[in-house]
Chains A and B, each alone.
Chain A
Amino acid sequence: MNLQTSIEGDETLQLDIYRRMMLIFKTDAKFRSLITSGELQIIYYPPRGQEMVAAATMAALRPDDYLVTIYRGLHDHLAKGVPSRELWAEFAGKATGTCKGKGGPMHITHPESGVMVTTGIVGSGLPIANGLGLASQLSGDGRVTVCSFGDGATNIGAFHEALNMASVWKLPVVFLCQNNLYGEHTAYEVSTGAKEIIDRAAAYGMRGVQVNGNDGFAMYAAAKEAVDRARAGEGPTLLEAKTFRFLGHVLGDTSHYIPKEEMAAAKERDPVPNYRKRLLELQISSATLDAIDADVAAEVEDAAAFALSSPYPDPEENEKDILALEIAA
């Protein structure tokens, strides 16, 4: 097992995370552009600002590790390795999508890359992540399940039930709270009694770790340690990644409820330019990073074109996949 928890000095890993981050950044920009221009008419929850939480965490996983995430999950999906073309096509509701257009942006599933559930119900992924972890614990397949959710989800009952069960059964699950400080339009302190999300971990006898989710180096180290511990049978971690949401709850939301100074300060901590700056300081050449940017941009353009030109599903799909085997008349 690779127990390295630092990306210091590991240029390959640093660039791997950079690529994942830029893929998210450019994919998000392209989605917003196509939605704004009217070429794509979908509901869209922008991940802008949270790129690094996903990029660094998923880099710490094996390809066959499981992920359960939520409707604001584009960054998680891409970082976990869902192919861009199929992901784009699913967002666009096309037959070539990961789920044949039947799930949509809020329900991306792609078991080949470990994405088992994407849910639109706040908090509901946590109990399911336990089941994936239980399966790994029983079968000994060595997989770890990462369950991604927002700070708002820590206030719903499912969070409590799931963390307690995970702790009692020492399940190989990392509960990744992407704390962007707002649940829909409501600020953290207006909705949440705990001073910090990780304060809740103690209530379950669970390890709690808080990390700056915008710092790729710190985020990777914290995620890798939690994943390694889970894989080694040392139980679950509540991993709180502090981050921010730059474009509101849903595309079109002006974030009017966020004080201007707070937003400006958050943008100073924008993970995308800051990570690039850090890599340049580490003597990685701008040409190397530009080449990744160009490669990623080409991937995004190709995927968007693929999605837009793909056919819609046949209406008969509504009669399929309801039950495994339709009962013969």
Chain B
Amino acid sequence: MSATAEKITFGQAFNLAMDEALATDPRVILLGEDIADDQGGGVWKATAGLSAKHGTHRVRSTPIAEQAIVGAAVGAAIAGYRPVAEIMLMNFITVAMDQIVNHAAKLRFMSGGQTGVPLTIRTASGAGRGFGGQHSDMLEAWFAHVPGLKVVTGSTPAEAKGLLLSCIEADDPCIFIENTATYRLQGEAPPPGFRIPLGKANVVREGSDVTVVGYGRPIADALVVASKLAAEGISIEIVDLRTIAPFDLPTVLTSVAKTKRAVIIHEAARDFGVGAEVSSRIHEELFSELLSPCVRAGSSFCPVPFSPVLEQSYLISADDIEAAIRTSLNGGKRK
């Protein structure tokens, strides 16, 4: 992709992916609160224009009823449709956990493979916008812990579009996470038909001293930190998981086997997060080769606070990532 390429925002990327899916596959339907144009095309405008183009029978505004939304999507999926359900904010997904965990995730297994659930749940979240404790959580670890789900997020608009299309086309239930804070951030537009296979991580920057493993918004921060440290002669490799679950362990291990140091970063709170699993797997496979123990960085283990000072303190930052890298270089000891 050239530097002069057309730019799109994350929000446009989601819209383009759904537009393309609706246009190419009549089984694709969208369900969610306010998503049709008469209701504004979704609070994030991700579905703007899609009901006008593809019809309100396929782009359906729903009652504010997350169980009913996800349940309807599960039922339509086992009957052969490819529903994309929008759960406006990730915290609202708690209302639909029974449908996701007990049904979407398990129906394939419990039916002995007879009923698959080709369902995508798009959901947005993220701290930094002053939305407080019930509109900002990153809950991907909950879903990563459930067998039968795929959990996916993109770190650039192009990647997000390619990943969302792959989720919609996948035969499995996918939780696709969008970040409210970067919704209007621009990146290069991908070429038409661009897809990113699920389960494949991406080495976004090559380096030799420390591997940083992450996904979503902190990848951009990690790139900034890597450029800064390069000036000090520290070479950082960055692996964007893209598919959080099941994650691409071979790519992670290949990278860490080379650098012999790993830092795992995510916006979700560090404790009991995805980083713990990635860290354990690295230790289990490469313990004797590591020059220092894995280091994790995430947001603080507290509800997302409201006051801007508190919220910025809560949220993982470039400084936190840099500190974690320096801890790794220091044999795991924090200075």
Contacts and interface: CB of A to CB of B under 8 A. Distances in A.
A109 B63 contact: no
B75 A99 contact: no
Interface in B61-105: 62-63, 65, 67-68, 70-81, 83, 98-99, 102-103
A117 B102 CA distance: 11
A136 B68 contact: no
Interface size class on chain B is: 35 or more
A190 interface: no
Given A138-B57, A327-B246, A321 B75 contact: no
A98 B72 contact: no
Contacts of B70: 127
B252 to A, nearest CB: 12
Interface string B113-142: 111101000000000000000000000000
A147 to B, nearest CB: 10
A189 interface: no
Contact of A329 (B71, B81, B170, B249): B249
Contacts of A102: 109-112
A42 B212 CA distance: 49
A199 interface: no
A165 B62 contact: yes
Given A128-B74, A131-B75, A329-B249, A107 B98 contact: no
Given A111-B115, A138-B29, A162-B71, A321 B109 contact: yes
B171 interface: yes
Contacts of B77: 131
A129 B79 CA distance: 10
- Tell which of A66, A110, A135, A139 has the most Cβ of chain B within 10 Å: A135
A103 B111 contact: yes
Nearest to B106: A107
Contacts of B58: 138
Interface residues of A, number: 50
Given A322-B148, A329-B250, A161 B68 contact: yes
Nearest to A104: B110
Interface in A111-153: 111, 116-117, 119-121, 124, 126-136, 138-139, 145
Contacts of B63: 161, 164-165, 168
A97 interface: yes
Given A66-B79, A165-B72, A329-B250, A110 B114 contact: yes
A287 interface: no
Interface string A152-182: 0000011001101100100000000000000
Nearest to B118: A324
A278 B92 CA distance: 53
B172 interface: yes
Given A132-B75, A323-B150, A324-B172, A119 B102 contact: yes
Nearest to A168: B63
Nearest to B78: A116
Contacts of B73: 131
A97 B113 CA distance: 12
A131 B65 contact: no
A286 to B, nearest CB: 41
Contact of A109 (B81, B115, B148): B115
Given A164-B65, A329-B250, A124 B110 contact: no
A124 B78 contact: no
Given A116-B75, A120-B102, A131-B73, 13 more contacts: A68-B75, A102-B110, A127-B68, A129-B75, A131-B75, A132-B76, A134-B72, A138-B76, A164-B68, A165-B63, A165-B65, A325-B171, A328-B199
Interface of A: 66, 68, 97-104, 107, 109-111, 116-117, 119-121, 124, 126-136, 138-139, 145, 157-158, 161-162, 164-165, 168, 320-325, 327-329
